[in-house]
Amino acid sequence: MKDLLEKVEPYRKALIRVGKILRSKGIDFVLIGSLIIPLFYKIPWDVHDVDLFILNKSVFAESDFFEEIARENDWDVGTTMYGQVYYEVLVNGDIVRVDLMENMLDVYIPEQILKNAPTRRVDDLEIKHIRLEDLIVLKAREATQEGDEFLSKLAEVLAEDRYDVRLDKDYIKEIIKLFPEDEQQSIYKRILRSGIYIE
């Protein structure tokens, strides 16, 4: 557990640092990436960035606003090939990337998932975050090798008795129904193929 906390610490600190600044600017967000796994489910996981879904402002249409926040806080800022903004935040000698996302092109998160987001306190900051079940469905919808590897690895971890995580299978099935009908069967099959059984 100590090793887990040490690995996650730069990402946790970056989340708090950026989260507080965004809140001070009136920006609401939901934590949507794999950081939720070690942070809220206490499962060891290799995290590579912090993914924040912005709720009440357009990252794409108002990129100047978000770039100004970076300048004010001495963060490096960039944009992805899809026009989404990301920050690079220095935390104790580590550079942590924080992606600011919205529904556009390759990113689609149904509104109901965002509405379902529970709130947990991280230090002195309230953080909304998607559930592990949501993340499973989103990874399956990616339909990529990376997404498949993610799900297979998660299935192995969840099979271990030492992690007391019980998935809500009915909830997963309901979340799948939020996506276009022609994608639902593919999402369902990818989850099953990974070893995560939702029957």
- Strands 94-101 vs 50-54: parallel, antiparallel or unpaired: parallel
Q: Is the pLDDT of residue 184 over 80?
A: yes
Condensed to tens digits (0 to 9), the pLDDT of residues 93-115 reads: 999 999 999 998 778 999 999 99
- What φ, ψ does residue 145 adopt, rounded to 5°? -60, -40
Q: Is the pLDDT of residue 137 over 70?
A: yes
If asked whether residues 154 and 126 sit together in one domain, one would say no
Q: What pLDDT is attached to residue 161?
A: 78
Q: Determine the angle formed by the axes of helices 145-158 and 132-142, rounding to 10 degrees.
A: 150
If asked whether residues 16 and 83 sit together in one domain, one would say yes
CATH at residue 26: 3.30.460
Across 46-85, b (16+ Cβ under 10 Å) vs e yields: ebebbbbbbeebebbeebeebbebbeeeebebeeeeeebb
Q: What pLDDT is attached to residue 1?
A: 55
| Domain-located, residue 146 | yes
| Domain-located, residue 38 | yes
Condensed to tens digits (0 to 9), the pLDDT of residues 115-129 reads: 999 999 999 999 999
Q: Is the pLDDT of residue 2 over 60?
A: no
Q: Is the pLDDT of residue 164 over 90?
A: no
If asked whether residues 118 and 142 sit together in one domain, one would say no
Q: pTM of the predicted model, to two decimals?
A: 0.93
Mean of per-residue pLDDT scores for the chain: 92
If asked whether residues 109 and 138 sit together in one domain, one would say no
Q: How far apart are CA 109 and CA 95, in angstroms?
A: 27
